[in-house]
Structures are given as C-alpha cells and as structure tokens.
Amino acid sequence: MTDVMLSPENGKPMVRGIRPVEFSYKGLSVTVDMPGWYCEGSDEGVHEGKDLEISDAALKQLKIEADKLLAPADVKRIRTKIGLTQQQAGAIIGGGPNAFQKYESGEVTVSKGISNLLRVLERHPEEVEELKKFA
C-alpha cells in the first residue's frame, strides 16, 4: 500500500492518519478515533475498508442506545435464559436459522420487535412453549 494518496477534491497529497470524528444519531453522539486518508490543513478525509468498520460499530452502538434495542450480549443472555439454541430461537421467534448467530455476534442489529419480544420472554419464559406451537 502506498504512503500517499491524492485528494479526489483538490489533487493535494493525503496521508494515513487518525482524527477524531463525531457521529450523531437521534440526539446522541460519540466521537471516535477514525483512521483514514487525510489532507493536511483541511477537514477532507477518505475512509475505506477497515476504516469503515470503526464508523459502522459506532453508529450501531448509537442506534442500540437511541432506539432502546438489545445489545448482542443481552440477546444471548436472554436466549440462553429461556433455554433456546440459536437455531431454535430463529425458528420460534423469527429471523431464520442463522439470525441469532448474527444478532449475538453483532453482525446484524436486532429489531425493535425482536428486542421487545425477548424482553417479554425473559419475564415470562413459560410463553416459549406456547410459541413453539407456531414454529
């Protein structure tokens, strides 16, 4: 990989670095150290590949907090507490056979509906047996 990139805006040299970048979602914000290509003396930056994983993770966390969704660890904790495998949870609660693996790894953010249903099942685990009838 090269040590210098030219700005797509002005043709000036850009170099790899890290700058603080603020992300906002529904009134919440977070500042992260964002790797990327930056133009000296300006706010211009280019982010690619692995750089975008940093911003994606920050935005996912903001969405979880702002929308009051379950975090991956909470999904796993509740699923385990109600006695379901990932595959069973996907079949009974919805999302398909690999949905809960993706929720628990953080690859996919769980929906508001799934979050709320898991919260109810955590308080009333006996209802899992009722839902099994519809799987």
In DSSP notation, 109-126 reads: PPPHHHHHHHHHHHH-TT
In percent, the amount of the chain with pLDDT more than 70 equals 99
Give the chain's domains with CATH numbers.
Answer: 4-66 (3.10.20.860), 72-132 (1.10.260.40)
Q: What is the pTM of this model?
A: 0.83
4-6 sheet: strands from edge to edge: 4-6, 13-25, 28-39, 45-46
Average pLDDT, the chain: 94
Distances (CA, A) of 72 to 46, 66, 96, 126, 128: 30, 15, 17, 23, 20
For 67-123, write each residue's pLDDT tens digit: 999 999 999 999 999 999 999 999 999 999 999 999 999 999 999 999 999 999 999
